[in-house]
A and B are shown apart, each in its own frame.
Chain A
Amino acid sequence: MSAAPWSLHVLSEVLAAFTVGSPTALRDVVSRVAEAVDAEITAIVRQGGFALCVGLEDRDKPALAAAVAERLPLLNLGGAPLHLYWAPLDGGDWMVVGRFREDYTLEERALLRAMGRSIQLSTQVLAALEAEQEALRAEQKAKELAIREATIDSLTGLPNRRFLLTHLAEGLARCGGRGEPLGLLFIDLDRFKHINDVYGHSTGDAYLQAVGEAINDFRDHDIFVGRLAGDEFIVIVAAASLEILKHLAENILKCLDRPWTIGGRVLQYSASIGLALAEPGDSPQDLLDRADLAMYSIKQKTPGGYAFFEPYMLDQARRKADLETEIRRALRGDELISFFQPIISAAHGGVVGFEGLARWLHPGRGLLAPEDFIEVAEEAGLLRDLDARILRDACFSLSGWRCVQEGFCPRLSINISAASLQDASLIERVTDTLAASGFQAENLLLEVTETSLVKDVERARHNIVNLKRMGVRLAVDDFGTGYSSLRYLRQFPVGMLKIDRSFVSGLGENHDDDIIIETIIRMAGSLGIQVVAEGVETSSQRSILSGLGCDFFQGYLLGRPLDGPMSELLFARSERRLLQLGPEAF
């Protein structure tokens, strides 16, 4: 049996079902109109715009709106022909009904026309519809804003971390499916913290905006740019190859490493870039991690360059992570101890003090020197804990020596990092340690490098002034290798300079080193600051230093670092000899 055709005699029945007393009822009517002719789209067109539209997504509405003025009978929508019938409503409005692929028969047109005539749009319904539309628009706008805020970085306007990860996941799925590799550039600005520290955060932000804009200029069909966090930018490259990534990295580095005028200041900072290609089964985080490791590797070696990920970088990172875990364990336990290297008086050759040095009694690797772990401790932000641990251990160790209890106490020099020097709790830590151990403040010297002094002068000044009040003196370590600024020597209560071993090793062989050391000793003398020469390893060096008026020596010639009991013995022997020389020897 063939299907019966639509027939005009259905009209009265259809119209009887139509009431439009509310927006909901109008929506029902509009749906039924579409269903009656098996059409996809129905819209009420009023004053050139849509009062109601069912069947079209927002993105397709402009195409239909463009057909309103001329009431086009046919539209191409998404590649398919959409046949339109325009049924007049009362009051000059229209109802348009759209059906894909199949045009309307004469009967269907008559039916739609009659349906249109039966729809009475009351003012109340239209007002309610308008209010609904307005609420929908406001909701949509709020959603778009929320999505934008959730996916766009507010500082640079670039896609943020969330957006990047989503795009990366999609890219991996897409490129993986086609067998085309996806590449990633992990860009990290070099010394960005310095910009914030020196010029302030507003300059730092403006610099990030400028850099983000510059990197975004590389964006094209295959290149997607976003800001991951802080000073880290990501470039995702579709259909990538090693050559394409290399070329892009070189161009970005060239673009970034140039003078930038930011807020009237000229800044020039480089960036380091890690590159990685996606591998089968990669998650977004896998690819990011590899590019990050490559970036980290090049930044450690030669900032301002780029490097491709190599498997050894992962091994290195894992070893570092393991070491960090072990350091934390050591700090909790009793594996970190103090060794002591003697400081000898140039005047009488006796031991007048010790430099307390960190040693790690590693359960599997034996005794480790700081160079085996200090870098990782610094990266992990553990230097303050390490400094505090060695200070405490050394003070307690010396306080237990018999000679100290008898009133003959050597000076104790302890290295403290820039992090400790700027730490607000430094004074409290030192005070607690001295009080608990009974070690006298006037016998304690805290050794800092020149770089630590100038890193954050104001925060350091507060601690240095309070240390002086407590009677603790400051020694400047590795003098001559950093700023060597007289201004800082005058500004801070420095009691001692330690000439760096690199100058001492050249004594008698390199004339420049002779002159530098002589100058330092004279300068210190004129400021009333004592001088220790570090790294004294030969008698000749000792003899020259004595001749130049150096106050103290430290080095393998005079004694290697020893553990507490051996150091106590060494000091006791020296003490007995000094006692024979008289009290001025101290």
Chain B
Amino acid sequence: MTISEPVQAALTSEADRWIVVGSSTNPDPGLAVREALAPISERANPRLTIIFCSPAYNLAEVSRLVQASVGSGEVIGCSTAGELLRDHPMTGGLLIWALGGEGFAVTTGVGLGDPTTGLRDAAQSAAQCLRRLERKEHTILFLLADGLCGDQMEVVRGAYDVTGAGVPLVGGCAGDDMALQATQQIHSGEILTHAVVAAAITSNAPMAVGIAHGWEPLSEAMLVTGSRGTTLATLDDRPALDVYLDTYGAPAEVRNDPAAFFDFAHTRPIGIARRNRTEIRYVYGADYEKRTLTIFAEVPQGAMAYLMHGNSDSVLHATAEVCALAEQALGGQPARGFMLLECVARKSLLSNAGLLDESLKLPTVAPETTVGGFYTYGEIARTEGSGGLHNQTVVALALA
């Protein structure tokens, strides 16, 4: 039997790179950290440890315990709106995703923003860690940002200012178990809000990003005629809220009850037409007086937009699809691990349909491959163009 070159490369680098995930739902932070770190503590030389943690935990305590356990390795993380393992979504849990070995090198950075000025400068500061990285053949920038601090697109813009087109961006926006009050970011033992943390990861093997959402346009294309930041004012010169409610045929309670609107909009996003794809924007509020919509990230004025719809079937297979897409882009090498960044709105949709577990079945992913991630308030994936902020989407980072 002859072994193909990519497989040979994967075998010889077995000890060179590793990716491990551990998790726990134990309410005691000390025991949770111990359980989640158990599979990682068997490995030597962790380069990067990422904490995905429900805000139900004391993140400072969790962060301190993890940092003390992993020694000199870099530690970042954030609060979530749920964590996900293979076949196994979690709520209120702790997931620790780590990579290590001589084949990886990592630097991390952090930047602080605020809700009035946004996160562009913060993302720029965090991304500076890329400049300290001694790069190997393949490099990406992984970002975790406050999901409730201004226009999330600013995170992509700020990071892109530093990385340029040569380094893919991937990451997610921190959540708070859908309380929509405040999210937390972790960097080197510090707990922050309104922050962006970044890890520049370089590897001697390929890393690839896959993006899928499963949403389809419901409306005709409309021109975004009034939009600034996270406020979408008009579509085709009509009040955006009215276009939205009428197109979807919203019931009466949605037309005057913010809570009902929130639940309704959860599964009805807006799509922005890009060169060869549609980027999804999550609608999470309405101003009944000004007749505007509140969006998680900017819908650019002048863009073509659609009102999107999806059913559980159309979004069900997105997670499996995105893993297959990402692994295909690894140049024939098998994935050693996946990081999944999945929108919390997808979780709601699938959960309501009783399909959440089903959505995490990944038929193309080998059983021994590590899979872990979290439910986000926004997904970051830029591999072409200069945009790359998504909502109600699932993004997979595959690492060979």
Q: Are B103 and A173 in contact (CB under 8 A)?
A: yes
Q: Quick one: which of A4, A16, A27 contacts B273, CB cutoff 8 A?
A: A4
Q: Are B13 and A177 in contact (CB under 8 A)?
A: yes
Q: Are A57 and B164 in contact (CB under 8 A)?
A: yes
Q: Are A39 and B386 in contact (CB under 8 A)?
A: yes
Chain B residues 98-149 with CB under 8 Å of chain A are: 102-103, 131, 134, 136
In the complex, chain B residues whose CB is within 8 Å of the CB of A27: 161
In the complex, chain A residues whose CB is within 8 Å of the CB of B164: 40-41, 54-57, 60
A465 lies within 8 A of chain B by Cβ: no
Asked whether A3 and B278 contact (CB < 8 A) given A13-B225, A57-B164, the answer is yes
Asked whether A36 and B385 contact (CB < 8 A) given A173-B103, A177-B103, the answer is no
A90 lies within 8 A of chain B by Cβ: no
In the complex, chain B residues whose CB is within 8 Å of the CB of A60: 164, 166
Distance in angstroms between the alpha carbons of A34 and B216 in the assembled complex:
25
In the complex, chain A residues whose CB is within 8 Å of the CB of B310: none
In the complex, chain B residues whose CB is within 8 Å of the CB of A166: 134
Asked whether A36 and B302 contact (CB < 8 A) given A31-B386, A78-B166, A177-B103, the answer is yes
Q: Quick one: which of B166, B227, B385 contacts A57, CB cutoff 8 A?
A: B166
Q: Closest B-chain residue to A115, C-beta based?
A: B302
A490 lies within 8 A of chain B by Cβ: no
A486 lies within 8 A of chain B by Cβ: no
B290 lies within 8 A of chain A by Cβ: no
Distance in angstroms between the alpha carbons of A249 and B278 in the assembled complex:
62
Q: Are A177 and B204 in contact (CB under 8 A)?
A: yes
Q: Quick one: which of B16, B278, B386 contacts A173, CB cutoff 8 A?
A: B16
A326 lies within 8 A of chain B by Cβ: no
Q: Say how far A84's CB is from chain B's closest CB, in angstroms.
A: 13
In the complex, chain B residues whose CB is within 8 Å of the CB of A143: 131
Distance in angstroms between the alpha carbons of A364 and B385 in the assembled complex:
75
Distance in angstroms between the alpha carbons of A39 and B164 in the assembled complex:
12
Q: Are B131 and A38 in contact (CB under 8 A)?
A: no
Binary per-residue interface labels of chain B (192-228) against chain A in the complex, 1 for a CB within 8 Å, 0 otherwise? 0000000000001000000000001100110111011
Distance in angstroms between the alpha carbons of A60 and B164 in the assembled complex:
10
Q: Are A177 and B16 in contact (CB under 8 A)?
A: yes
Q: Are B165 and A56 in contact (CB under 8 A)?
A: yes
In the complex, chain A residues whose CB is within 8 Å of the CB of B273: 3-4
Chain B residues 12-39 with CB under 8 Å of chain A are: 12-13, 15-16
Q: Quick one: which of B228, B301, B385 contacts A40, CB cutoff 8 A?
A: B385
Q: Say how far A22's CB is from chain B's closest CB, in angstroms.
A: 12
In the complex, chain B residues whose CB is within 8 Å of the CB of A32: 300
Q: Are B387 and A35 in contact (CB under 8 A)?
A: yes
Q: Quick one: which of B9, B15, B228, B302 contacts A14, CB cutoff 8 A?
A: B302
A172 lies within 8 A of chain B by Cβ: yes
A305 lies within 8 A of chain B by Cβ: no
Q: Say how far A520's CB is from chain B's closest CB, in angstroms.
A: 64
B160 lies within 8 A of chain A by Cβ: yes
Q: Closest A-chain residue to B45, C-beta based?
A: A283
Asked whether A176 and B16 contact (CB < 8 A) given A3-B221, A13-B223, A36-B300, the answer is yes
A243 lies within 8 A of chain B by Cβ: no
Q: Closest A-chain residue to B104, C-beta based?
A: A173
Q: How large is the interface on A (under 10, 10 to 19, 20 to 34, 35 or more residues)?
A: 35 or more
Q: Quick one: which of A4, A14, A17, A172 contacts B102, CB cutoff 8 A?
A: A172
In the complex, chain B residues whose CB is within 8 Å of the CB of A31: 157, 160, 386
In the complex, chain A residues whose CB is within 8 Å of the CB of B302: 10-11, 13-14, 17, 36
Q: Closest A-chain residue to B162, C-beta based?
A: A57
Distance in angstroms between the alpha carbons of A334 and B102 in the assembled complex:
49
In the complex, chain B residues whose CB is within 8 Å of the CB of A6: 304
B384 lies within 8 A of chain A by Cβ: yes
In the complex, chain B residues whose CB is within 8 Å of the CB of A54: 160-161, 164, 386
Q: Closest B-chain residue to A11, C-beta based?
A: B302
Distance in angstroms between the alpha carbons of A32 and B302 in the assembled complex:
10
Distance in angstroms between the alpha carbons of A268 and B5 in the assembled complex:
51
Q: Closest A-chain residue to B234, C-beta based?
A: A13
Distance in angstroms between the alpha carbons of A11 and B225 in the assembled complex:
10
Distance in angstroms between the alpha carbons of A36 and B16 in the assembled complex:
42
Chain A residues 99-118 with CB under 8 Å of chain B are: 99-100, 102
Chain B residues 298-314 with CB under 8 Å of chain A are: 300-304, 306
Binary per-residue interface labels of chain B (251-280) against chain A in the complex, 1 for a CB within 8 Å, 0 otherwise? 000000000000000000000011100100
In the complex, chain B residues whose CB is within 8 Å of the CB of A281: 15
Q: Say how far A429's CB is from chain B's closest CB, in angstroms.
A: 44
Distance in angstroms between the alpha carbons of A17 and B103 in the assembled complex:
46
Q: Say how far A437's CB is from chain B's closest CB, in angstroms.
A: 53
Q: Are B223 and A9 in contact (CB under 8 A)?
A: yes
Q: Are B278 and A40 in contact (CB under 8 A)?
A: no
Binary per-residue interface labels of chain A (153-195) against chain B in the complex, 1 for a CB within 8 Å, 0 otherwise? 0000000000000100110111011110000000000000000
A266 lies within 8 A of chain B by Cβ: no
In the complex, chain B residues whose CB is within 8 Å of the CB of A177: 9, 12-13, 16, 103, 204
In the complex, chain B residues whose CB is within 8 Å of the CB of A57: 163-164, 166-167
Chain A residues 27-55 with CB under 8 Å of chain B are: 27-28, 31-32, 34-42, 54-55
Q: Say how far B223's CB is from chain A's closest CB, in angstroms.
A: 6
Q: Say how far A55's CB is from chain B's closest CB, in angstroms.
A: 5
A69 lies within 8 A of chain B by Cβ: no
Q: Are B384 and A40 in contact (CB under 8 A)?
A: yes
Q: Are B102 and A13 in contact (CB under 8 A)?
A: no
Q: Which of B12, B227, B386 has the most CB of A within 10 A?
A: B386
In the complex, chain B residues whose CB is within 8 Å of the CB of A172: 102
Q: Say how far B111's CB is from chain A's closest CB, in angstroms.
A: 15
Q: Are A100 and B301 in contact (CB under 8 A)?
A: no
Q: Closest B-chain residue to A37, C-beta based?
A: B275
Binary per-residue interface labels of chain B (215-246) against chain A in the complex, 1 for a CB within 8 Å, 0 otherwise? 01100110111011000000000000000000
Q: Quick one: which of B166, B167, B301, B386 contacts A16, CB cutoff 8 A?
A: B301
Q: Say how far B267's CB is from chain A's closest CB, in angstroms.
A: 19
In the complex, chain A residues whose CB is within 8 Å of the CB of B15: 281
Distance in angstroms between the alpha carbons of A28 and B298 in the assembled complex:
13
Q: Closest A-chain residue to B124, C-beta based?
A: A27
Q: Are A17 and B165 in contact (CB under 8 A)?
A: no
Distance in angstroms between the alpha carbons of A4 and B275 in the assembled complex:
10
Q: Say how far A20's CB is from chain B's closest CB, in angstroms.
A: 16
Q: Say how far A282's CB is from chain B's closest CB, in angstroms.
A: 10
Q: Are A39 and B385 in contact (CB under 8 A)?
A: yes
Q: Are A100 and B12 in contact (CB under 8 A)?
A: no
Q: Closest B-chain residue to A31, C-beta based?
A: B157
In the complex, chain B residues whose CB is within 8 Å of the CB of A11: 302
Q: Say how far A32's CB is from chain B's closest CB, in angstroms.
A: 6
Q: Say how far A311's CB is from chain B's closest CB, in angstroms.
A: 23
Asked whether A14 and B301 contact (CB < 8 A) given A173-B103, A174-B204, the answer is yes
Q: Closest A-chain residue to B10, C-beta based?
A: A177
In the complex, chain A residues whose CB is within 8 Å of the CB of B386: 31, 34-35, 38-42, 54-55
Q: Closest A-chain residue to B13, C-beta based?
A: A177
Asked whether A41 and B274 contact (CB < 8 A) given A35-B387, A36-B300, A166-B134, the answer is no
Q: Say how far B162's CB is from chain A's closest CB, in angstroms.
A: 9
Some 24 contacts from A to B, beta carbons below 8 A apart, are: A3-B221, A3-B304, A10-B223, A10-B302, A13-B223, A13-B224, A13-B225, A17-B227, A27-B161, A28-B157, A36-B302, A38-B386, A39-B386, A41-B164, A41-B386, A56-B165, A57-B167, A100-B165, A102-B275, A170-B134, A176-B12, A177-B13, A177-B16, A281-B15
Residue numbers of A with Cβ under 8 A of B are 1, 3-4, 6, 9-11, 13-14, 16-17, 27-28, 31-32, 34-42, 54-57, 60, 78, 99-100, 102, 143, 166, 169-170, 172-174, 176-179, 281
6 tightest Cβ-Cβ pairs between the two chains A and B: A4-B221, A14-B302, A38-B275, A38-B385, A40-B165, A173-B102
Given contact pairs A9-B223, A17-B301, A174-B204, a sample of 15 additional A-B residue pairs in the complex whose CB atoms are under 8 Å apart: A6-B304, A10-B303, A17-B227, A28-B157, A31-B157, A35-B300, A40-B384, A54-B160, A54-B164, A99-B385, A176-B16, A176-B102, A177-B9, A178-B12, A179-B12
